A and B are shown apart, each in its own frame.
Chain A
Amino acid sequence: MSLDNGMILRIDPELPTPVYRQIVDGLRIALVNGDLAPDQELPAVRRLAMDLGVHFNTVAQAYRELAQEGWLELRARSGARVKQRAEPPAADTRLDAIFARRVEELAAEAQAHGVPAARLAQQLRHILLKLEGK
């Protein structure tokens, strides 16, 4: 994701992660960081699918998932708009455990691929600082 002349969404269909998940993740990062502001119009499903070279349903599924999370408001003619999202309630212990597990899995995967622990910690710190400073 970059801010070079607009918000660019990147996907890689050759990665093992499903394309719709990559779209959801990419959009969610932009939404959490505030790069996509409330009331911002997102491209229509067909437009985004055309530009990414994926099926319309893949983009529609990603938009629906983000709408369920409260980030987007789906509009007639397959468009979407960023919503002013209410602060979610504090995560309970079950959710805490799920995310702790996912961070652990990510750290293990990074180590397995030769990413040094210090580099990973630096990345996490950078992300947290960015989130706190938005």
Chain B
Amino acid sequence: MTPDVDFRFLLLLITLTAALHFSPAVSRSNLFLGLTVDPQFKQSDAARRLLRAFRMGLWGSAVAAAILASTAGSLGWALALWAAGSLLCLAVARRGVSAHVVQTPSVREANLTAPAERMPGGLWAVALPFVALGALAMWAWLHPASLPQQLVLHSTFSGPDRFAVTRMGTVMALIGRAAFCCLILTGLGLGILHGSPRRASSGAAMEAERLFRRRILILMLMAEYFLICLPYIQLLKLPPIVHSVWAGAFMGLLGHRLLQLLSGGQGGERWVLRPQSAALDNRAADSHWKLGLIYFNPHDPAFLVEKHIGQGYTLNFGNPWCWVCLAAILTIPRLLAQL
């Protein structure tokens, strides 16, 4: 095992464990480890005890995985050990919470007069990355002599480590990969906008939720604009400093935006002056969630739903379109790699 792999693996392990460590803190106030509880319960001693045991178990799994990776050198098995340990901790903690679960009401509501939400920047902001990539592809097609001798296929913290000789196929695959990533981000953005239910239908909670969604959409658009820079940097043979500036700016802005979202809690709940949790109805009932992580509800037309643990959105695996999209996400990059 090289020190480079070691460092990356440890970083991944720490990031994943920290994400799970803080996930109960950013969930909605009526959700605890993916189960619906009274918001007061989260402040109780019983909840603190359960959370402490869960977090200790998580970090214990991470330490065990790190030891396995450094002694046996098998990163795959180490990651599997971490995942199994974390899921076990989650299952045990949820068992403790189950005695405090409250039933979700069956009444559902929708605001009939809420203004429609749109993509920040409108259609142009969505289309521009694709137009820019199309223009780059056209330029590469017309000026093959101006292209670099080789293209970087993979980079690590210490720099590029895999290259390919430039052919028109590899150039188009490079641009195609960026376009595909933009397509996924656009699809997710549209899914959040038009394919996910609003939890809060009135008051400050609704406003906070709208702001939260808008910030997520801006984050996705920002990621798209950064992604399209990569093929430009490579194909226009820009100096390495541009790549460094790009990486620094990307990480900085991404980190800032993520922290901003995390500070708001799920659905921007914490941006509301007086904490006001959106009503959860029975379509988000715990029974539709597997371990609080996977949502499966064929009766819900939603494509994306708010996560039950942590922050952000997850797919409704009961919706057949979710499987179609997953299949496309898994197969299209392989097809592009054939070019």
Task: List the A side residues contacting B107 at CB < 8 Å.
Answer: 10-12
A50-B197, A53-B197 known; A9+B301 contact, CB < 8 A: no
Chain B residue with Cβ nearest A13: B106
Is A51 close to B, CB under 8 A? yes
A9 to B109, CA, bound (A): 5
Check B108–A52 contact: CB distance below 8 A: yes
Given contacts A8-B202, A11-B107, contact A50 B112 (CB under 8 A): no
Proximity string of chain A (20-64) to chain B, C-beta cutoff 8 Å, 1 when within and 0 when not: 000000010010000010001011001111111111100000000
Docked complex Cα distance between A4 and B202 (Å): 7
A4-B203, A5-B206, A12-B106 in contact; A53/B111 too (CB < 8 A)?
Answer: no
Report the minimal beta-carbon distance from B91 to chain A, rounded to whole angstroms. Answer: 27
Per-residue interface assignment for chain B, residues 187 to 203, with 1 indicating a CB less than 8 Å from any chain A CB and 0 otherwise: 00000001111100111
CA–CA, A14 and B299, complex, Å: 14
Question: Total interface residues on B, using CB and 8 Å?
Answer: 26
Chain A CB within 8 A of B114 CB: yes
A7 CA / B110 CA spacing, docked (Å): 8
B66 at interface, CB cutoff 8 A: no
Cα separation A40 to B201 with both chains bound (whole Å)? 18
Instruction: Tell me whether A12 and B108 are in contact (CB under 8 A).
Output: yes
The reply to whether A9 and B203 contact each other, CB–CB distance below 8 Å, is no
A40 to B110 CA separation, bound complex (whole angstroms): 16
B33-68 interface bits toward A, Cβ cutoff 8 Å, 1 = contact, 0 = none = 000000000000000000000000000000000000
Q: Is A6 an interface residue (CB 8 A)?
A: yes
Q: Which 8 A-B pairs have the closest CB atoms?
A: A51-B110, A53-B283, A5-B202, A6-B113, A14-B106, A7-B112, A10-B109, A6-B111
Which residues of A come within 8 Å of B, CB atoms? 2, 4-14, 27, 30, 36, 40, 42-43, 46-56
Interface residues of B (CB under 8 A from A): 106-114, 116, 194-198, 201-203, 206, 281-283, 299-302
With A5-B202, A8-B201 known, 5 other A-B pairs at CB within 8 A are: A7-B112, A7-B113, A8-B109, A12-B108, A51-B198
Question: 13 A-B pairs, CB-CB below 8 angstroms?
Answer: A4-B203, A7-B111, A8-B109, A8-B110, A8-B201, A14-B106, A36-B112, A46-B194, A51-B109, A51-B111, A53-B108, A53-B283, A56-B301
